[in-house]
Amino acid sequence: MDSSRLFSSSSPMLSDRPPTRDGDELIQPLESADLRGFWDNAPRVSASPSTHGATSHSDDPKAVAKSLHDLVVKVVDKKAHKGAKAVGQTAQEFCDLYETQDVAARSAFLDLLSREFCKPRGTASDAARAYLDSTSHSDEPAQSALQAHVLRDSLTPLYADLFDQINRLPEGFAFLVHMRTDMLGLIRTGGKSSAIQAMSDFLMRRLQMWIVGTLDLKRITWNSPACTIEKLEQYESVHAVRSWMDIKRRLGNGRRCFGFFHRNAPREPLIFVWVALTDVIPDNVQSILLEREQPKSSEANAKCAIFYSISSQVGLARVDLGNFLIKRVVSVLRTEMPNIETFCTLSPLPRFRSWLDKLLSPESLVSPPQDIGISESEQNNLISRVPGAKTWTAALKNLVDRRGWTADPEAVDAMEPVIRLLGAHYLTKVKRGTGSSAADPVANFHLRNGSCLHRVNWRGDTSYHGLRQSLGLMCNYNYVLDRIEDNSESYVADGTIAISGTDPYIARVQSLAKAKL
């Protein structure tokens, strides 16, 4: 199999052109002192995506919603305007007003938009009858195709006209991504309704359609525009950026950052990935995040490209760009650095702790599960760390619920084999619902892309966030280039998880599963 074609462009939204570098587009490079001043003086952006761009507060959200409503009417009412220019100006007025509002005003308007403009453009019943008549009484396929188009158009909600007009504006695509972020925020905070959900899903499908053929891959460097670097901090969702020095390290020698940019918003990454160039596959993310910048010559000796974080804008949830981004970056790195032999991730297990909490139910504290495969000596070592504990599950729950357990080296040593085995079991055996897909969303993403589960890493992320979501557990997914297509097909077909490497805990889980057959 020719592995090179796996990472060539087969989609119209991608190209084989090398990525442009934002820094190369600047007439005068952004100096370190300038960027430090920018970080020192920049306002901190709220973690809530629903506050994007909000600069004013409305005393009467309903009045603002009414003003926005009137502008929408002008956009969707074909008789209320003359010419595309007038429609574009009205759509721009809408965007300008929307961006200045606070969360309350935006929420009130989105609720109004989802309810009052969800009606179809035309009379669907008449269009449906015409379509059925054309298929029953006409021998002309073109007539049926025309009526099918009329039917689809009649079923399209009115707010589609608003979205279409905004998408035609400069940076309109980015505005719609942020607008969908507000919709998702409203859904998450208890404002969920079938109308809001339907509008969010409709806009998601529109974004997915519009994005084809509009993306450019760029390498983001220390000399990229400050506004682009600010977005890295704002949208990073895996390993939080603490300061401008974090960014400088992540963009230094031995590091790479690549992102997809929409051509109408060339300085705002829609999705981006951080890459570390290393000698070996790392088992700890702090060694990447906190390592001092390496000399430029070290890149020539690197053997591994490690994808340690990938983040996209919230408004693009369920728009699959990550798969394309990783494959494009692999293609670029293979061309730029032929010394790189391994393409691997260092990935979190975002739902491991919540799964473990359910596993350690009151019933299991008395009668532990028997399908994990924890040895008797591992159970006894864990129990010995908690006076009075009768089972390994009770001892483990006591330890993980205890504040400061990471400062007890003997407890950490006793927990390691148990947690690593539980992690291997969780990744390979725990499924989503009644299907065959991995329950962990990050695992499902990489396995669908064709990677191999390589290794489970104890104390892979010792930050507060890492300990809280997975007790510090991380794992590596290895993109073995000549196995990617077969791995992906097998996983999608029946949930088969490809394995690489010799992780003893993954091997134990596999052996236990084979013994039960």
Distance CA 512, CA 510 (A): 5
CB proximity list for 470: less than 8 A, separation 6 or greater: 348, 349, 350, 352, 353, 423, 461
DSSP code for 191: I
Q: Which of 312, 347, 451, 500 is catalytic?
A: 347
User: Can you give the C-alpha Rg of the chain in angstroms?
Assistant: 26
Tokens of 279: 């000698």
Distance CA 411, CA 329 (A): 41
Distance of CA 466 to the CA centre of its chain: 17
CB proximity list for 142: less than 8 A, separation 6 or greater: none
Distance CA 90, CA 310 (A): 37
Active site residue 194: no
Distance of CA 478 to the CA centre of its chain: 19
Residue identified by tokens 């208890």 is: 190
Distance CA 500, CA 477 (A): 9
Contact 317, 201 (CB under 8 A): no
Residues forming a β-bridge with 65: none
Mapping DSSP to helix (H, G, I), strand (E, B) and coil, where does residue 87 land? helix
Distance CA 452, CA 460 (A): 18
Q: Biggest alpha carbon distance in the chain?
A: 83
Active site residue 465: no
DSSP code for 298: G
Contact 233, 247 (CB under 8 A): yes
Q: Which of 52, 178, 446, 454 is catalytic?
A: 446
CB proximity list for 89: less than 8 A, separation 6 or greater: none
So which residues are the catalytic ones? 347, 446
